[in-house]
Amino acid sequence: MITDVVLYVWLLSLCGVVIHVFWFQWQEAKKGRGFFKDFKWYEWLLLPFLIVGESFVWPYLWYQHVKYQRRKERAVFRVEISDLKNKLSIAEIEEKHVISEPLDCVPPQPFGFLNEAWLDFLADANNPENLYYFEKSHGELSLEHHHKGYAALSSDNKVTQYFIFSSRRELCKVKA
Amino acid sequence: MTAQIPETIEFENKKQMLLTCPLEDYFTLGKVDSPFNANCSALWRGYIGHWKIINGRLYLISVEPQFDEENTTVLGDIFPGFDNCVFAHWYSGELRIASGKEVEFAHAGFGSVYAREVFLSVEEGVLVSTRVAHHK
């Protein structure tokens, strides 16, 4: 946001400088001096178009810049409070995610081969009491990821850490 | 990206090309660094994984490092205690299995089109549905 304001002020100043230079040169030209002194009548007609055109160009560039920044922000995956579903205890989660499989090709621990990542998540979140299940879709270029996981909520209602145990990747649907 | 060498999968009692890399999801979700090196532009992931569908479940049977003589990584190095078979419970998504003639070549990733393509929808390692596409 600060970058946007700085860019806006900078472009506004630039526009001001351009208008000022034209105004000054016009005054000089009336006295038979300066850059525009040899300007023909049709060249004078062009000037307002240039000034007006320029004042349309910079807001457009600014708009494009803001749009690009927002797209970049959207590309970063974040878990928000609005994504959280139901609250569960560590014991409930671990019981729910012990993977049963007939060939014994998975460790008998919560989240199977992702158990270490789960334990790291709990350690990073300081064994939290406020754990919530979440599901969130997140677009990245032409792909959409449907993430499922658990998030830790701090006492001041902020998502501090999250753990993803399932991430389904699909091509984004093209709007008709 | 250069056309990529596929994984293999044993499905419908035959070994076929798998144009999906479920092990990459394990590295991402498990926050595990891949032990493989990208030494060839035709195999950026640096390995070929061999997969199998057994009783409607997806299993990783072995991994082979490629274009890297010093790399001796085997399945048990990535999944300690599981040397021959790993249930891919971390994987959800579509598996694209190709067989038959290559009807359209694309020099980009797994972009080529094959005469018969089977799409298996997998949810946390379990096969949910199957769709077959024929191309001419």
Q: What pLDDT is attached to residue A170?
A: 75
Report the C-alpha gap between B102 and B25 in whole angstroms.
27
Question: Across residues B76-91, what is the average pLDDT?
Answer: 94
Contact B113, B27 (CB under 8 A): no
DSSP string, A81-120: GGGEEEEE-HHHHHHHTBPP-TT--S-SSBTGGGHHHHHH
The full length of chain A comes to 176
Question: Across residues A38-51, what is the average pLDDT?
Answer: 74
pLDDT tens-digit series, residues A5-27: 776 677 777 777 777 777 777 77
Best mutation site among B31, B78, B127 for testing chain A: the one with the most A CBs within 10 Å? B31
Strands A131-140, B14-18: pairing is unpaired
Whether A105 and B93 lie within 8 Å, measured CB to CB: no
Measured CB to CB, residues of chain B less than 8 Å from chain A are 25-26, 28-31, 54-55, 57, 59, 79, 81-82, 85-87, 89-90, 92-94, 123-125
Burial of B106 (0-12, 13-18, 19+ CB in 10 A): exposed
Confidence of residue A175 (pLDDT cuts 50, 70, 90): very low
Of the candidates B25, B26, B57, the beta carbon closest to that of A101 is on B57
Report the C-alpha gap between B90 and A167 in whole angstroms.
8
Both tokens assigned to B76: 């048990």
pLDDT tens-digit series, residues B28-75: 999 999 999 888 888 899 999 999 999 999 999 999 999 888 899 999
Report the C-alpha gap between A152 and A158 in whole angstroms.
8
State the nearest Cα–Cα gap between A132 and chain B, in angstroms. Answer: 18
- Among A38-42, A106-110, A128-132, the range with the most confident prediction by mean pLDDT is A106-110
State the nearest Cα–Cα gap between B42 and chain A, in angstroms. Answer: 22
- What's the distance, Cα to Cα, between the start and end of chain B in Å? 25
Partners of A98 in the β-ladder: A110
Residues of B in contact with A113 (CB under 8 A): 26, 30, 79, 86, 89-90
Q: What pLDDT is attached to residue B83?
A: 92
Give chain A's mean pLDDT: 81
pLDDT tens-digit series, residues A131-173: 999 999 887 666 788 999 999 988 888 888 999 999 987 765 5
From the list B83, B99, B25, B85, the residue with the least C-alpha distance to B55 is: B85
Q: What pLDDT is attached to residue B49?
A: 94
Best mutation site among B52, B58, B90, B121 for testing chain A: the one with the most A CBs within 10 Å? B90
pLDDT value at B99 more than 90 = no
Q: How many angstroms from the chain centroid is the CA of residue B80?
A: 20
Partners of B93 in the β-ladder: B122
pLDDT value at B27 more than 70 = yes
